[in-house]
Structure 1
Amino acid sequence: MMDNQTISPRQFMFIVLLFSIGSSILIIPTPAAAIAKQDAWIAVTLSILIGCLLVLFYNKLGQLTEGETFVQATISVFGNWFGRLICFFYLSFLYILSALVLRNIGDFMTTQIIPETPLQFTHILFLLVVIWGAKLGIEAIGRSSEIFMPWIVLLLLFMVIAVAPQMNLENIQPFLGEGVKPILSASTIMVGTPILEMSSLLMIYPYIKDEKKIQHAWLLGVIFGGGVIALITLLSILVLGSDLTSLNNYPSYEIAEKINIAGFLEGLEIIVAIIWMLTIFFKLVFLYYATSVGIAQFLKMDDHRPLLTPLGIGIIVLSIIAYPNVAFYEDFVSKTWLPYSLTNGLLLPILVMAGILIKRVFKKPKTGASPSGKNS
C-alpha cells in the first residue's frame, strides 16, 4: 500500500455517491431527454440497476485482489510486461477521464457563471485545490466527503422544493410514449458515465477498513447517487419539458434560474452551481488521486506526491485540446466513450479476474504456509 491511510465504509459510500453524481448531473439529462424524451428519467433509473450488478462484480474482484490495488494485482498476476501493458491502458483511461471531468467544470463555469474568464484560468484555479486534496491523501478526501455531504443534501432539497411550483405533470406524459427501445438506448449514456468509470474505485479498495461492509456501502452509494441524477432528470422534464431539456446544455442550471419565491427571492441558481462544483471536485480529486497512486505503483515509486504537479500540467493541456467545441464533444460521448469505458471498466477487470482465478487453480498449495494477512 502507498501509505497507511484508511477510510471507513461510510466514507467510501459518500465517495461513491459524490463520484456517481460528479459531472454526470450536468451532462446526462440533455442526451437522455434527446433519445428517450419524457421517459429519460426511466432510462436513468434502469441504468442504476445495471450499476448495482457491476458493483457486485467489482466487489468480488476487490476481494480476490487480497489487499492490492487494481494496478498491483494486475502486475502480480500477469507479470511485468503484459501486466504493465494492461495497466497502461487502465491508467490512460483514468487520466483522460480526469481531463474530461476538468473540462466539464471549465465549460460550465465559462458559459454560465464567468463567461469573460479564459478557460485555462478556470482549469488552473480548480486544479490547484484538487492537487492539494490529492496530496493530503484518501483519508482527507473521505473525511471531507462526510463534512460536505449534509450541505449537498440540504441544497438539493431546497432546489426541489423551490422549483416544485414550476412543475407540470403533463410533461412526463404519455408514459412509455416512445416505446421501450429509446429507454434502453438512453440508459447506455449513464452506463458509460459514471457507472463503468467506477472501475477506478478498485484503486482504493485495500484502503477501506471493514471488507464485509464494502459491498453494502458501494451499492448504497450507487443507488443514492443514481437516484439524484434520476431526480434531476425528472425535474428538468417536469419544469422545462423534454424538448427544452434536450436542447439545453445544462437543464438543471436552467430550472434553478426559474426559482422565484414570493416574487422577490430570485437569482438562486448559484446554489445549484455550488452543488455541481462540490460533486465535480470530489469526483476529480478522487480520480486524480487514483491516477497518481496507480502511476506511482506502475513506476515502483514509494510516494505518489512528486507526480501530482507534472500530472496536473498534463491534465490542463489535455483538457484544453481534448475537444475543440461542444459538437465534437457530443459526438465523442455518443459514439466513442461507451466502447472506450466498456473496454477499461468491464473487459480489463474481467481479464484480471480470470487471471487471478486461473492462477489460483494452478498454484500449488504450500504446506505449513501461514495465510497472508490483508493490508489495513
Structure 2
Amino acid sequence: MTTPTISSNQFRSIVIYTTCGTALLSLPTTLANIVSQDAWWIPLVSLLLGFPYVLLIILFGRWFPNDTFVIMLTRLFGTWFGKIAGVLFLLLPFLSAPHHLHFFTQFIMTHFFRDTPSIILTASFMAVVTVAVYRDIEVIGRASELTMFIFIFSVLLFSVFVIQDVDTSYLKPMFQNEPRTYVETILFMNSRIVAVHMIILLVLFPRNIQDKRKAEHALISGYIIACLLLFITVFLSITILGPELTKIQLYTGFKLGQRVEIAGIIERLESFLYVIFFITLFFKLAIYLYATSFSFANIIGIRNHEPLAIPFGILITVLSMTEFKSMIDDSDFYFLGSLYLIIPIAYIIPALMLITGIIKRARANEPIIPKQASEANTQNHHDL
C-alpha cells in the first residue's frame, strides 16, 4: 500500500494550526490569571525553552524516517512494551479531543447560536472533521494549505485594526510574582502547547512528508510562527484590555474585536476571530482524530485506518457531550486532569525513547545524530 504524503508547506500549515488551536482564544486569560501583566512575555520564553523538545522530535524522525510512531516504539521497546506505550499515546489525542470540541461548542453557542441545541453543533462540527480524516491525510494537508492565506490574512487584519489601542503602561510593574510562579507558568505552557502537539505530530512526521529534509525545516518554522502568533494574541490582550479585564474574559479576542471602530465604517471585527478559531480547531481535531485512528490501526495490525475514523469520531462526540457538563468541568480537565496524560506520554515516553535509542545505536556503532534525514527517502531503515 502506497504511503500517502503531503508537502512540507502543507505540513507547516498543520503544525501552525495544531499548535495554536483553542489557545488563540483561551491562552491570554489562562496566563493572566497566573502571572497577571507578566503574561505577555511567557510565550517568548516558552518558545526558546520548548525548542529542544522540537529538536528531540526531529531526532526521532531521523532515527525512524519511514516508520509510524507505534513502529518506532516497538523497535525501541519490543513488540509488547512498544504496543503498551502505543496505547498510552493513543489516550492523549483521544481524550484531549472531547475537551477542545466542548470548548468550541460553548464558544459558538455563547456568541452565535444561542438557541441551537449543543448536540446539533457538536455533532455537525465533528461530522465534518470525521469526513476529512476518512479521506486521509492528503486531503487534510491540501485543505490546510488552501486555508492558510485566509488564516494569516484574518490574523494580520485583526491585529492592524486593534494595535492603535495598545497601552504599554499595562505591562508595568514587571516581575511582581514569585519566581516559582513564572517557572510553573512556563512549564504549563510548554506542556500544554509544545510537548502535547509535537509528540502527536510524530504520527505523520516525517513518514508522510514528501521531502524529509524540508519537513524538518517546516516543523521548526511552523513551531516558531505558531508561538509568535500566540505571543501577539497575549500581548494585544494585556496591552489593550489590561490584565484585570483579561483575567475575566474567557474569549479575549471577541472583546478586542468589539473595540474596533474606525470612522464608523469598520467596526466589530469579532467575526474574524470566529473564522480564525474555526479553521484552527478544525485542523487540530482532524489531527487528533487521525492520530487516534491511525495509531489504533497500527496497534491491532490493520492497514486501512480510514474506517476507524467514524467510530472514534462518534466516541469523541459522545464524550464531549457527556463528560463536560459545564466550563468548570472543562477547566478542571485542562488544568488538572490532562496532566495525568501529558506527564507520562509527552515526557516519560520520549525520555525513555531517547535513552533506549542512544544505547542501541551506540551498540550498533550507528551515529546518534544522522546527518541527513532526506537520504532516508530512498533507503530502507534497518532495525536498531
| Same fold by TM-score greater than 0.5 | yes
Q: Which residue of 2 aligns with 1:148?
A: 147
Cα gap change, 1:180/1:3 in structure 2, threshold over 3 Å: closer, same or farther?
A: farther
Distance of 1:344 and 1:41 partners within structure 2:
28
Shift of 1:189: 3.0
Distance of 2:285 and 2:13 partners within structure 1:
14
SS at match of 2:174: coil
Distance of 2:211 and 2:180 partners within structure 1:
41
Equivalent residues of 2:191, 2:342 under 8 A apart? yes
Distance of 1:23 and 1:61 partners within structure 2:
27
1:96 maps to amino acid: L
Q: Does 1:189 align with 2:188?
A: yes
Shift of 1:204: 0.3
1:187 maps to amino acid: I
TM-score, normalised by the number of residues in structure 1: 0.92
1:110 maps to amino acid: M
Cα gap change, 1:262/1:70 in structure 2, threshold over 3 Å: closer, same or farther?
A: same
1:116 maps to amino acid: D
Q: Does 1:373 align with 2:380?
A: yes
2:110 maps to amino acid: T
Equivalent residues of 2:5, 2:210 under 8 A apart? yes
Distance of 1:80 and 1:232 partners within structure 2:
44
Q: Which residue of 2 aligns with 1:38?
A: 37
1:54 maps to amino acid: Y
Distance of 2:362 and 2:47 partners within structure 1:
34
Cα gap change, 1:328/1:101 in structure 2, threshold over 3 Å: closer, same or farther?
A: closer
Equivalent residues of 2:103, 2:330 under 8 A apart? no
101-110 or 259-268, which moves further after superposition?
259-268
Cα gap change, 1:26/1:80 in structure 2, threshold over 3 Å: closer, same or farther?
A: same
Distance of 2:200 and 2:144 partners within structure 1:
17
Cα gap change, 1:24/1:374 in structure 2, threshold over 3 Å: closer, same or farther?
A: farther
Q: Does 1:119 align with 2:126?
A: no
Alignment of 1:55-94 (within 5 A): 55-94=54-93
1:328 maps to amino acid: D
Alignment of 1:289-308 (within 5 A): 289-308=290-309
2:150 maps to amino acid: W
Q: Which residue of 1 aligns with 2:238?
A: 237
Distance of 1:214 and 1:50 partners within structure 2:
21
Shift of 1:316: 0.6
Distance of 2:311 and 2:340 partners within structure 1:
29
**How many pairs were matched up?**
369
1:347 maps to amino acid: I
2:4 maps to amino acid: Q
Q: Which residue of 1 aligns with 2:371?
A: none
Alignment of 1:1-376 (within 5 A): 3-178=2-177, 180-197=179-196, 198-205=198-205, 206-362=207-363, 373=380
Distance of 1:148 and 1:249 partners within structure 2:
26
RMSD of aligned Cα (Å): 2.1
Equivalent residues of 1:70, 1:203 under 8 A apart? yes
Equivalent residues of 1:24, 1:193 under 8 A apart? no
Cα gap change, 1:3/1:241 in structure 2, threshold over 3 Å: closer, same or farther?
A: farther
Distance of 2:340 and 2:56 partners within structure 1:
19
Shift of 1:253: 1.7
Q: Which residue of 2 aligns with 1:368?
A: none
CA deviation string 1:54-77 (max 9, x = no partner): 100111012112411111111233
CA deviation string 1:38-63 (max 9, x = no partner): 11011121111122111001110121
Equivalent residues of 1:59, 1:215 under 8 A apart? yes
129-138 or 178-187, which moves further after superposition?
178-187
CA deviation string 1:175-206 (max 9, x = no partner): 33436443333223321222111200000011
Distance of 1:114 and 1:187 partners within structure 2:
35
Equivalent residues of 2:26, 2:252 under 8 A apart? no
SS at match of 2:89: helix
Equivalent residues of 1:42, 1:183 under 8 A apart? no
1:30 maps to amino acid: T
CA deviation string 1:304-330 (max 9, x = no partner): 111111111100111123332222332
Write out the 4+ residue segments of structure 1 that deviate beyond 6 Å after TM superposition.
none
Stretches of structure 1 lacking an aligned partner (at least 5 in a row):
366-370
CA deviation string 1:262-282 (max 9, x = no partner): 124333211111111101111
Stretches of structure 2 lacking an aligned partner (at least 5 in a row):
367-377
1:247 maps to amino acid: I
Shift of 1:331: 3.0
1:123 maps to amino acid: T
Q: Which residue of 1 aligns with 2:374?
A: none
Percent identity of the aligned residues? 29
1:373 maps to amino acid: N
SS at match of 2:263: coil
Q: Which residue of 1 aligns with 2:375?
A: none
Distance of 2:352 and 2:105 partners within structure 1:
35
Equivalent residues of 2:64, 2:381 under 8 A apart? no
1:131 maps to amino acid: T
240-249 or 2-11, which moves further after superposition?
2-11
SS at match of 2:4: coil
CA deviation string 1:82-121 (max 9, x = no partner): 2211111100111112222212211211122212222221
Distance of 2:344 and 2:13 partners within structure 1:
26
Equivalent residues of 1:94, 1:287 under 8 A apart? yes
TM-score, normalised by the number of residues in structure 2: 0.90
80-89 or 70-79, which moves further after superposition?
70-79
SS at match of 1:28: helix
Distance of 1:238 and 1:292 partners within structure 2:
42
